[in-house]
Amino acid sequence: MKIKLLGILLLLSLFSYADSPFIVAHRGASKDAPENTIPAFNLAWQQGADAIEADFHLTKDNHIVCFHDKNTKIIADKNLTISQSTLAELRTLDVGLKHNKKFKGTTIPLISEVFATVPKQKKIYIEVKCGIEIIPHLLKAIDKSGLKDEQIIIICFNPNVLQAIKNKTPQYKALWLCKIKKTLGRVTPSKESILTTLKKINADGLSSNKDYISEASVQRLIQKGYEYHAWTVDDTKTAYQLNTWGIKSITTNVPAEIKNAFLIQDSK
């Protein structure tokens, strides 16, 4: 009887866990390690993240590197423009020291190095930070990575980039990144405008900031066959609320904190 009861409880916990959103580490565990670096991604996996989110640019000599901004002045010890610099030049930069001296000597990783950190059954959200010129190099890198199609999610603010990727490789999930704003009492873009864009570019869903999103707008997306994902959520109250609305994933700077909060909630 006890064994049977334990089995039932285990099944219930599994179903409950499955209902929780994917926890995506924003640029890795970026609160505890330098963003968009191998230490940040490795730490994210150690903290139980279901996926990592990483930003990618194309260098002057057609290598794909993991970095957020167009230039390196904020993060690194020298200011270089990614698109106008070679991989060799970018590799000389220290992108860890400004975060914490224990990360001194950390370098900008290649996309292949980021892919190599992704465990089986985990996912990577690939944010394209430049234009369509990256696409052939990106698709080649994904193909060489050994990752399964379902492990790849491509995200971008530029709808034209997503549309071009979906046209070439419809097997990869693609989410349109959209910053929702409120100006003079009006929320933009409108619900209808968002749906029009998603349909036009054949996206699988929307990924937006958590501000000015309502349960009704999320449900409308879901009813139309799209997924909803949110960034950047670092507090459990907001994460819980979004989950009740049917969110697919939550991107956060504190994956351990948000992941543990859902595990505790699911165990109740």
- One digit per residue, pLDDT tens: the chain, 268 residues? 434 433 433 333 333 334 789 999 999 999 999 999 999 999 999 999 999 999 999 999 999 999 999 999 999 999 999 999 999 999 999 999 999 999 999 999 999 999 999 999 999 999 999 999 999 999 999 999 999 999 999 999 999 999 999 999 999 999 999 999 999 999 999 999 999 999 999 999 999 999 999 999 999 999 999 999 999 999 999 999 999 999 999 999 999 999 999 988 877 7
**Helix spans in the chain (H):** 2-19, 38-46, 87-90, 111-115, 135-145, 159-168, 191-201, 215-223, 236-244, 255-267
Name the 3-class secondary structure at 130: coil
| Residue 70 CB coordination number (10 Å) | 13
Taking the domain 32-67+111-267, which CATH number applies? 3.20.20.190
pTM to 2 decimal places: 0.92
Domains of the chain, residue spans:
32-67+111-267
